[in-house]
């Protein structure tokens, strides 16, 4: 599901892309409380603290709540009481299967890459209720071209509240034949509200193009900005262009340059090219060459000519310095 982030200058539009009914043993707490009171110099006259009795949650609801949990959160929930520990046992087993699956998927932990074994582990974990495993299994199915199987797993994960499942489901509807823009926007919005940065970016694209809802540049820019602030590189690039052209955001070259540099420093090749051009226009020749060289190495062929023109104006020492900086460059962390 690779998508084009922004069109070439010759394109018509500047924007394109594309967590039981069996309660805990209440006597456990009372026993511990009474034992502690024996060591107090003065017995406490105040009653034990009261509040919602979460231990009385039905098992099925607890499982739905915990389905999207990661391993640390799942372990923390399992320590609440014996009832929760027993109820969440299938999900703890699922986490182990999920780990095995990832090892086989990526060829880590001393095993060779094996997608069949990875998928088998993910499906077993999904059967135990893990939405994380549902999403991973769905990804493998999608890459194989088995889109119906992938969408079925994304639907289960999405219904259980998993933001990644909601996001992937929305993107799947955008890539389905025929496309289903309304369902796509529905699930992308759910994931976006849950803080999923890729979903925020995709929702912004839908708003920008009027897919599944009315075109709204202000709302599109707002979601681009949320995704960018969450570390999504493509959104950083689009935010820069919004500021550049005044689409959905007030025209500001200062903010445009700031977001373009953020995207460039995180490995966005078009941003590296654009930022290199900006530095060139400001007379920052050495820095310009570094960004243009990075863009060239990432496949931006248009950057090559400009880079070569600048190199002719630099001394041999400066040229060597620029290439050394490009060789030692590392992208800043991002959500991609």
Extents of the domains making up the chain: 267-330
Are 74 and 66 contacting, i.e. CB atoms less than 8 angstroms apart?
Answer: yes
What is the structure's pLDDT at 75?
Answer: 86
As a three-state string, the secondary structure of 67-86 is CCCCHHHHHHHHCCCHHHHH
| Rounded distance between C-alpha atoms, residue 253 and residue 159, angstroms | 42
What residues have CB less than 8 Å from 289, skipping those under 6 apart? 276, 307, 310, 311, 314, 319, 322, 326
Compute the distance between CA of residue 238 and CA of residue 14 in angstroms, rounded to an integer: 10
Average pLDDT over residues 281-308: 96
Helix axes 147-159, 131-143, angle to 10 degrees: 160
Higher pLDDT, residue 2 or 237? 237
pLDDT at 336: 75
Q: How far does CA 318 lie from the centroid of its chain?
A: 39
List for the chain the helix, strand, coil content (%; round to 5): 65, 0, 35
Residue 35 is predicted with a pLDDT of 43
pLDDT of 304 strictly over 70: yes
Task: Please give the average per-residue pLDDT across 86-97, as a whole number.
Answer: 89
The angle formed by the CA atoms of residues 101, 104 and 107, to the nearest 5 degrees, is 140
Is a pLDDT exceeding 90 seen at residue 314? yes
Q: Which residue did the predictor score with more confidence, 36 or 74?
A: 74
CA 186 – CA 179 distance, rounded (Å):
13
Higher pLDDT, 14 or 123: 123
Query: What was the pLDDT predicted at 49?
Result: 52
pLDDT > 70 fraction of the chain, expressed in percent and rounded: 82
Q: In this predicted structure, what is the pLDDT of residue 59?
A: 63
pLDDT of residue 297: 97
pLDDT over 80 at 27, yes or no: no
Question: CA–CA separation, 100 vs 114, rounded Å?
Answer: 11
In sign, the C-alpha dihedral spanning 273, 278, 281, 286 is negative
Question: Could you give the percent of the chain with pLDDT greater than 90?
Answer: 70
pLDDT score of 38: 42
Question: Which one has a higher pLDDT value, 31 or 49?
Answer: 49
The predicted structure's pLDDT at residue 262: 98
Q: pTM (2 decimals)?
A: 0.80
pLDDT at 53: 56
Q: Which two tokens stand for residue 206?
A: 């839908």
Q: How far is the C-alpha of 312 from the C-alpha of 293, rounded, in Å? A: 14
> How does pLDDT run across 240-277, given as a tens digit for each residue?
999 999 999 999 999 999 999 999 999 999 999 999 99
**N-to-C CA span, the chain:** 14
Is the pLDDT at 25 greater than 60? The verdict is no
Mean model confidence pLDDT for the chain: 86
pLDDT of residue 14: 54
Q: Band of the pLDDT at 8, cuts 50, 70, 90? A: very low
Kindly report whether the peptide bond that precedes residue 178 is cis, defined as omega within 30 degrees of 0: yes
Reported as a single tens digit per residue, the pLDDT across 224-245 is: 999 999 999 999 999 999 999 9
**What span, in angstroms and rounded, lies between the C-alpha atoms of 162 and 154?**
9
> Is 171's pLDDT higher than 80?
yes
């Amino acid at each position: 599901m690779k998508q084009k982030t922004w069109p070439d200058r010759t394109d018509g539009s500047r924007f394109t892309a594309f967590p039981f009914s069996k309660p805990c043993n209440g006597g456990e707490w009372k026993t511990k409380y009474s034992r502690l009171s024996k060591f107090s110099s003065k017995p406490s006259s105040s009653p034990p603290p009261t509040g919602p009795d979460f231990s009385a949650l039905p098992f099925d609801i607890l499982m739905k709540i915990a389905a999207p949990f990661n391993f640390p959160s799942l372990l923390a929930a399992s320590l609440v009481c014996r009832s929760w520990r027993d109820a969440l046992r299938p999900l703890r087993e699922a986490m182990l299967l999920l780990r095995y699956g990832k090892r086989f998927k990526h060829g880590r932990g001393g095993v060779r890459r094996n997608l069949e074994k990875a998928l088998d582990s993910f499906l077993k974990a999904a059967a135990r209720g893990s939405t994380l495993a549902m999403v991973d299994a769905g990804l493998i199915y999608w890459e194989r071209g088995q889109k119906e199987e992938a969408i079925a797993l994304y639907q289960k994960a999405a219904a259980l509240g998993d933001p990644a499942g909601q996001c992937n489901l929305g993107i799947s509807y955008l890539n389905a034949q025929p496309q289903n823009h309304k369902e796509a926007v529905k699930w992308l919005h759910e994931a976006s509200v849950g803080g999923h940065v890729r979903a925020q970016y995709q929702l912004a694209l839908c708003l920008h193009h009027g897919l599944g809802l009315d075109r709204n540049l202000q709302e599109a820019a707002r979601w681009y900005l949320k995704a960018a602030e969450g570390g999504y590189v493509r959104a950083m690039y689009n935010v820069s262009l919004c500021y550049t052209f005044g689409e959905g955001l007030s025209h500001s070259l200062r903010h445009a340059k700031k977001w373009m540099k953020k995207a460039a420093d995180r490995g966005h090749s078009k941003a590296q090219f654009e930022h290199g051009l900006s530095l060139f226009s400001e007379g920052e020749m050495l820095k310009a060459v570094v960004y243009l060289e990075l863009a060239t190495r990432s496949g931006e062929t248009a950057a090559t000519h400009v880079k070569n023109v600048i190199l002719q104006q630099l001394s041999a020492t400066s040229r060597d310095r620029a290439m050394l900086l490009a060789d030692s460059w590392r992208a800043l962390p991002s959500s991609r």
